[in-house]
Structure 1
Amino acid sequence: MIAFTAAEIADITHGRLNADPALIPTSVVTDSREAVPGAMYVAKPGEHADGHDFMESAFERGAVLALAERPVQALDGTEFPAVIVEDAVLAMGDLAREAVRRIRAERSAEGQDVTVIGITGSAGKTTTKDLLAGILSAEGPTVAPKGSYNGEVGVPLTVFAADTDTRYLVIEMGATGIGHIKYLAGIVRPDIGVVLGVGTAHAGEFGGVENIAKAKGELVEALAADGVAVLNLDDQRVAAMASRTIAPILGFTSEQATAEAAVRATGVDTNDAGNPVFDLSLPGSVDQGAVEQEAVVQHRVSSQLIGRHHVGNLLAAAAAAHAAGVPAERIAEGLSRQGAASRWRMERTERADGVTIINDAYNANPESMRAALRTLADLGRGRRIWAVLGAMLELGEDSIREHTAVGTQVVRLNISRLLVVGREARALYVSAVQEGSWGDECIFAETVEEAYEILTAELAPGDLVLFKSSNGVGLRHLGDRIALPPHAEATAHEGSALL
């Protein structure tokens, strides 16, 4: 973390200081349980709890300073050392912006570079971030988000993990409205901007898909003329963003018809484990005397990710790494050695009794739901396959139509068993029944607990089970429970009761 004195923090955030001006925090946390000696605790109001209520806990764990919106008194009547600001989250952004500026300035003064890469899209951000960070970390000190830190809190927390030794700073950018990515890009000033796709996730919040495209394009609008815009040319809305940036375009495609793409996947296939394999084509150069001509460098990629739909994420990471100057052979090697690095994203577990769990329930939208179901069908040839599906949230007026389409797809893919969980996904169940799936092929469970009872009673050795829903539904935790060996959960509960 860049060193800021308490006085500097107050100045940068326009706050009021009631602590030792020379105090220097060594880390930043927003969860009191994560506080360690030397930390600055950000007390922000939340949807379900107010961080100010946990300030005492943070200081008991070693916090030395708070960034807060109001003073908080300890039991002895004294105020906890703090910088008091109007908005703690915006203050985090101000501090992160200055941290990036100092990192750039100090590295430049030493004749070194720092490359900041921003990634956005309706799906695949975290997987692409993980892939890219895996490639770049072999080239130099790299900082990337934990999990899915991609908002107005997560982006500053990622920045605070960087320092003047950082060579690559990878930033994941999410949004729930127009202007959000513009704000995040203004904090980190990306050199490379990656746009993966424009889907229907959060369509209800945005007011339509076109507004999602407008918001995602804010990333390339923030790029300077010496930056690089990495665009998915297989997505028409993303391809159209070329007109919204002054930066050069580096396009990627897995479709041969897209002639403008410099980064390509050809010969795309999946192996028996469902891992995508393809030939990666990257632009290269051949030095012929005084003339430098463009050439194509091609390498085989054998990914450890599950599902053909990850080809786009693999290409995006390859294009961004190429834009950052990584040689083609090391890009291909980096893509081939990596599996899923973040939890609940096509996460595969093999139970000892022969049941296979694929937990892809960190999030869901119509595009990712269709991709996961196609992967399930491909992997499940010769096995009984289950799709345990919950609601895709935040689709607005398109919700019933999109859930209906998924139910129809399940039947047409000949998936053996469909278990739909929760009333918000009932349209999915109804459409599957109407399409021709009835009896014990299609089951509706009101609650996650009811779904758990059905699965524990009916799963049999050799079954393959996919869990997929939006984060708020909680099927990722159901997937974790089912992934335990039979009777392991009861044993765990009995053990904890004895503590």
Structure 2
Amino acid sequence: MIATSGELAKIVGAQLRGPLDLPVERLVTDSRQAGPGDLFVPVVGLQHDGHDFVAGAWQRGAQVIFAAPGALAARGLEPPAGSAVLEVLDPRAAYGQVGAWWRARFPALVMVGITGSLGKTSTKELAAQILSRRGPIIANQDSFNNEVGVPATLLRLGPEHWAAIQEMGMRGPGQIAELCELVRPALGLITNIGHSHLGVLGSRQAIAEAKGELLDCLGRDGTALLNADDPHSRSLAPRHSGRIVWFGQSAESVRLAEVRGSDVRLQGLSGSRFVLTIAGGPPVEVRLPLPGPHMVANALAAAAIGHALGFTATDIGDALSQPARLAMRGEVLTLANGARLINDAYNAAPESVAAALGILAAEPTTGRRIAVLGGMAELGATSTVEHLRLGAAAGQVVDLLVCVGPAAAEIAEGAAGGRAKVIALPDVPAVAEWLARELRDGDLALLKASRVYELESVLTGLEVRA
């Protein structure tokens, strides 16, 4: 049990209507998952108001809910007999308060916070492979990294966990700082500073400033982990007065990087090999089973976390060499008809699309190289230029370029004059139909687009081999 209805009312400063002693085992934000013993949190977002689903949560057995003042009355809702309503100004903020309260119950737990423009989830998963060698840990599910996802992770903490890893995303200034108040990390890693969020913040330096809020919350006793290959990350170092562990692989960072990768040998879709050196110690050969040079950078970031927590280079290298499958991030699928798909559809930014196209171009295939590309979000004034560049780059390395959605025209225009045949499709269902009809034995296709496209949904119409 997390707490009783009365205890939670005190924690969040709620006005309680109903019994004080109802046990709460779980907090849920999806009414479809609600059941007996649950507290339903009606999150108010841009598209939906969770208060519209309160009745469904009650029907499924939830006896306790958060609710904003007047929200139930406006919908003509009366709480069922024996249930409790905790009236709060902002249910989402109250959810965060409960998460922060629960996290404070585990002061000895080592909390690792991760932010950055690219590679957060991959780094988190690789770091989890390393840290779990010492004992049970917890890490956020999928990319649960916002003001709703973070409390969900914190409320899964238990006395059996010695460490936790939490991604922290943002949409603007101040949001990393707010998440840090909940998470209270002892280690903070910034993977890199890229183009994502240019539409909101205007420049990469402004993005760096916002991501750097993670360093501000560490304090003198905390450890910062920074990318020595990234000039914007290097500019953040003065914001932290405690220990900094640098990681990198470029020739320019050789003197700075305490955790270093060298002799990188890309091996197509099977991954890569590289040499890991930590603090000038003996080199360790790593066989990373994830494709692309960007995954080497993510592995080095994860290695920096392991090193900061006392793992040896040998243990780190062995953990990184274990089989790993990251859904929608360079995930290789073989279809029943012999075609192969690189499902990299989780998100897209100029840097990650370039990396994915590099993987596609380098992989031997007996059939056609096909890139299925949607738009890249949050690029602001640079959006048109970046989509033209994307099209130009893709047009030089693939045989067939399938463009989808609102950015299709810009991508197609950029590809004009290249070697690729270009097809523009209006939406993702049209892409699904095209792939099911046109893919054949020997083809190698890349799926890549921003999260809003949900491009991975095309797989539902394709027969994937187990």
Question: Is 1:41 aligned with 2:40?
Answer: yes
1:418 maps to which of 385, 395, 401? 401
2:393 maps to which of 409, 429, 435? 409
1:177 CA displacement: 0.1
Matches of 1:362 and 1:268, distance apart in 2: 25
Q: Is the 8 A contact 1:274 1:308 kept in 2?
A: no
**TM-score when normalising by structure 2:** 0.94
Question: Is 1:468 aligned with 2:440?
Answer: no
Q: Is the 8 A contact 1:18 1:83 kept in 2?
A: yes
1:365 maps to which of 344, 349, 361? 349
Question: Is 1:453 aligned with 2:433?
Answer: yes
Q: Is the 8 A contact 2:366 2:442 kept in 1?
A: no
CA deviations over 1:156-214 (Å, ceiling 9, x no partner): 11101112322111110000000000111111111000000111112102233222111
CA deviations over 1:81-112 (Å, ceiling 9, x no partner): 121100111112222222222211xxxxxxxx
Per the alignment, in what secondary structure is the counterpart of residue 407 of structure 2? helix
CA deviations over 1:45-95 (Å, ceiling 9, x no partner): 222222122223223333231122146476786584121100111112222
1:23 CA displacement: 2.6
Per the alignment, in what secondary structure is the counterpart of residue 413 of structure 2? helix
Question: Is 1:196 aligned with 2:191?
Answer: yes
C-alpha distance 276-81 of structure 1, shift in aligned 2 (>3 A): same
CA deviations over 1:107-164 (Å, ceiling 9, x no partner): xxxxxx3100000011111111111122222212211111100001111111011123
Q: Is the 8 A contact 2:63 2:82 kept in 1?
A: no
Q: Is the 8 A contact 1:404 1:427 kept in 2?
A: yes
Match of 1:306 in 2: 291
Letter in 1 for 2:160: D
Per the alignment, in what secondary structure is the counterpart of residue 452 of structure 1? helix
Question: Is 1:427 aligned with 2:427?
Answer: no
Per the alignment, in what secondary structure is the counterpart of residue 374 of structure 1? helix
1:321 maps to which of 297, 302, 306? 306
Matches of 2:250 and 2:80, distance apart in 1: 67
Q: Is the 8 A contact 1:74 1:80 kept in 2?
A: no
Match of 1:58 in 2: 57
CA deviations over 1:346-387 (Å, ceiling 9, x no partner): 111111221001111111011111111111111145542100
Q: Percent identity?
A: 36
Match of 1:102 in 2: 105
1:84 maps to which of 70, 82, 87? 87
Per the alignment, in what secondary structure is the counterpart of residue 283 of structure 2? strand
Question: Is 1:214 aligned with 2:209?
Answer: yes
Matches of 2:24 and 2:81, distance apart in 1: 20
Matches of 1:383 and 1:163, distance apart in 2: 50
Question: Is 1:481 aligned with 2:460?
Answer: yes
Match of 1:275 in 2: 271
Q: Is the 8 A contact 1:29 1:41 kept in 2?
A: yes
Q: Is the 8 A contact 2:365 2:442 kept in 1?
A: no
**TM-score when normalising by structure 1:** 0.88
C-alpha distance 19-138 of structure 1, shift in aligned 2 (>3 A): farther
Q: Is the 8 A contact 2:268 2:292 kept in 1?
A: no
1:423 CA displacement: 2.5
Q: Is the 8 A contact 2:18 2:82 kept in 1?
A: no
1:337 maps to which of 322, 345, 348? 322
CA deviations over 1:452-487 (Å, ceiling 9, x no partner): 333233222000000000011221212x1354259x
CA deviations over 1:428-463 (Å, ceiling 9, x no partner): 111101x3346xx11111222332333233222000
Letter in 2 for 1:379: E
Moved more, 375-384 or 152-161: 375-384
Aligned length: 460
Matches of 1:260 and 1:359, distance apart in 2: 35
CA deviations over 1:216-259 (Å, ceiling 9, x no partner): 11101111212110001111001111111122110000113211
- Structure 2 residue runs of 5 or longer lacking an equivalent are none
- Structure 1 residue runs of 5 or longer lacking an equivalent are 105-112, 284-294, 487-499
C-alpha distance 79-178 of structure 1, shift in aligned 2 (>3 A): farther
Per the alignment, in what secondary structure is the counterpart of residue 102 of structure 1? coil
